[in-house]
Amino acid sequence: MADKATAKPSGPAFVVLRQLDDKKWEFLGEVPRKQGLPARAARTQAILDATGGTAKSTEVYAAVLRSEWRVAQDWSARSN
């Protein structure tokens, strides 16, 4: 994993995950959002940054905006 992925970014950032199987995901890190890139390109760049450029087209990744990730966690915590 790249050093950038382990730092706690203060601005807009992505939480990057890799799918291990149908029900499990591996957290790869938080990666700052690259400004000036369209949304899809920024997500792709975040995945590349989190994997140190070793992302494989045969694997499934997710790059979720950190703010959305936190909202989802808040809802999950309240529903239990």
The confidence band for 1, taking pLDDT boundaries of 50, 70 and 90, is: very low
Q: Which 3-state string (H, E, C) describes the chain?
A: CCHHHHCCCCCCEEEEEEECCCCCEEEEEEEECCCCCCHHHHHHHHHHHHCCCCCCCCCCEEEEEHHHHHHHHHHHHHHC
Per the prediction, the chain carries an average pLDDT of: 86
CB neighbours of residue 30 within 10 Å = 19
Whether residue 18 is predicted with pLDDT greater than 50 in this model: the reply is yes
- Is 50:5 a contact under the CB 8 Å cutoff? yes
23-45 tens-digit pLDDT:
999 999 999 999 999 999 999 99
Q: Name the residue ranges covered by the structural domains of the chain.
A: 3-79
AA letter at 49: D
